[in-house]
Structure 1
Amino acid sequence: MNSSSRLVLLLPERRRFAGQAISKDVARLLGRADALPLQSPGERAQLLRHFDLLPRGWPMAAITRQGDKGDAAGRGWLRADPVFIRPEMMGARLMAWGNLGLSADEAEAFLQPLRPIFGDAGFPISATGPERWYLMLPPDTKLPDFPLPIDALGGDMLAYLPEGNEARRWRSLANEAQVILHNHPRNQGRIAAGLPPVNSLWFWGGGRLPDSVRCDYTSVQGADEELLALAGLAGTRLQPSETGSTLADLRRHRDWSEVELAHLLPGIASLKRRYASMLLDFADGSGFRLEASQHWRWFRRPVAQLDP
């Protein structure tokens, strides 16, 4: 075992596990663990704790485009993913992103009437997958600070609308796209089949491909498309390794008992034998460090609950 090797579990915000029980063994182990200093919340900040990009920024559209097609270099990119936004009396909420169940045929049908809008605006739209849509940006395009869709899921849209002069143009384009998508005949069939309609686009991840991406992990496991693309640029293995540190992506998990049984308890069992430490990194900025030597802290109280 390398004295610096560690297993890091990337987890969602603790509130995602609200009301779920912690097993007695895990409650005791977390009570003995070191609580990490609170860090910046959000998935972007969470991943930036583990990946170093130069120049600084978060151009995830270019990064995933490179992973999807290998043609991102030398151009700016912006994700324009299909989403379902639910209107409400006092606003609207982002209810589905990345899990709409779109087929390639449906995606092409929705994209077809959008191409003239974005093409005329100078931002050609294309797709590398049914739910991964991209805008190619002209040089020196100025973008507002678009929030990540995963951070906005279930939230009030008003809290996530970008502001500033640059945002006006994008709000106008988004409104045009919403009208077309809302009236698209394919949505009638989706609603009849019990599927969420595609009624808007979510812009995010704008920028150019970074010059370099670094991380300190030998392998990355269970990653989504974004993390896989990052790991690929960093030259990190995507299969388990017998040496070095491991980053395990559990950000989409919502069942705490599954996290315990499939990941946390096996990770604890590997301490001393495989890893020197295990870190739980939650997307709200909180975390724990577990080490084998902490079993001497028998006098500490167990953790009663995860959510604050």
Structure 2
Amino acid sequence: MLLHLLVPGLYSRLPEWQRSYGWSPQVPGLQRLLAAARRTSGDDGGLTVAGDLLGPTGTAAGFRRRTHGFVDEPGWLCADPVYLRADVDSAILVEAEHLQLEESEARALVADLQAMFAGDGWCFEVADAVCWYALPPSAVVPPELPGTREAAGRDVGLHFRDADQSAQWKRFYAELQMVLVQSEVNRRREARGMTPVNALWFWGAAARATAGRRAVNVVQGGDAVLVGMAQAAGLTPSVPDLNAALDSGGAALVWLDALRRAAAYDDIEAFQEALAEIDAAWFAPLVQALEERRLESVLLYADGRRWDARRRRGLARWRREAALPQALGLERP
């Protein structure tokens, strides 16, 4: 039995928190798991890892549209509503989930955009309050940007500066932001003291070039791109359940998303609470499953890093667990 465990957000903020606060949480299950692990090569994000394990061709936008019940047609982009908190030197991306956007507001905003840009060949669709889509005219080539969840809480100004943006795209994007800022929906939100939607984040058009061989027979997790990817690979995803994963036999892919938002928005207290829950529900039981030989290996993926944990043998069983920053390979403060 092989378990691929993807935990977005587990690593990304820890170097900063350790450097700034000397933060070193006690996470006994994870520390024991890492004591039995070796760091292996790998710098891909979670969805790239999942795609490699599941093997289907397609785009992130296409997989997510499949999850939302739309036909997977070429050319569509994810066009997620966001707030760009800008100052002189940065532009921090805040997701719509953080804005408490209502679906009725989302549909009204998209109606404004459709009215403005339909004549130029654009088409916009709403799946729910936080997941929107756009089909640009064939002459418009959007820049390649990371996913909304990967960019959340980060300074995205660098992405804009580095992205290949045509003059046509820049003009469209400026007009789009103007429509959003002037919309009645945003005026009402601001009057209520709520954050407006002042931009869309376009992503998900890049395609996996070649099909791969499916390497797992079970998928657990609720990420919308992951769900569509699993369905395209002939699997029906379920909610994360450790016992069900262990009883499945073969190989399982489990996606735990509880840390991502706390890490994205620099919420150390929420992160520590969620980490303690994952430690009790997953990391500690996985160590036990390795010791009991119910499990051959745990491949842990976190923000472009990967560890291969196996049952400790011989003198290695008596090795003392390192503090979490050192176990994850961070430098000592």
TM-score interval for Structure 1 and Structure 2 normalised by the shorter chain: 0.7 to 0.9
Q: In structure 1, what is the equivalent of residue 300 of structure 2?
A: 280
Cα separation, 2, equivalents of 1:163 and 1:31 = 39
1:93-148: CA deviations, max 9, x gaps?
A: 11224443322211111111101333223221111222211112455864432222
1:35 to 24, 35, 39: 39
Unaligned runs of 5+ in 1: none
SS of the residue 2:205 aligns to: strand
2:276 to 257, 264, 269: 257
Letter in 2 for 1:175: A
Cα separation, 2, equivalents of 1:79 and 1:165 = 18
Letter in 2 for 1:89: V
Task: Please tell me whether residue 7 in structure 1 is matched to residue 22 in structure 2.
Answer: no
Structure 1 33/167 Cα, relative in aligned 2: closer, same or farther at 3 Å? Answer: same
Deviation at 1:261, TM superposition (A): 1.1
Letter in 1 for 2:50: L
Letter in 2 for 1:117: M
Structure 1 163/290 Cα, relative in aligned 2: closer, same or farther at 3 Å? Answer: closer
Q: In structure 1, what is the equivalent of residue 250 of structure 2?
A: 244
Residue correspondences, number: 298
Q: Indicate conservation of the 8 Å contact 1:95/1:153, yes or no.
A: yes
Deviation at 1:235, TM superposition (A): 1.3
1:176-203: CA deviations, max 9, x gaps?
A: 1111212223224434555432111000
SS of the residue 2:254 aligns to: strand
Unaligned runs of 5+ in 2: 18-22, 239-243, 260-270
Q: Indicate conservation of the 8 Å contact 1:59/1:210, yes or no.
A: no
Q: Indicate conservation of the 8 Å contact 1:152/1:160, yes or no.
A: no
Cα separation, 2, equivalents of 1:218 and 1:296 = 34
1:251-283: CA deviations, max 9, x gaps?
A: 442332122112212222333453211121111
Cα separation, 2, equivalents of 1:214 and 1:246 = 14
RMSD: 2.9
Letter in 2 for 1:261: A
Q: In structure 1, what is the equivalent of residue 148 of structure 2?
A: 149
TM-score, normalised with respect to structure 1: 0.84
Q: In structure 2, what is the equivalent of residue 72 of structure 1?
A: 72
Structure 1 131/28 Cα, relative in aligned 2: closer, same or farther at 3 Å? Answer: closer
Q: Indicate conservation of the 8 Å contact 2:220/2:255, yes or no.
A: yes
Q: Which has the higher helix share?
A: 2
Q: Which has the higher strand share?
A: 1
List aligned pairs for 1:34-73, cutoff 5 A. 34-37=38-41, 39-54=42-57, 59-73=59-73
Letter in 2 for 1:234: A
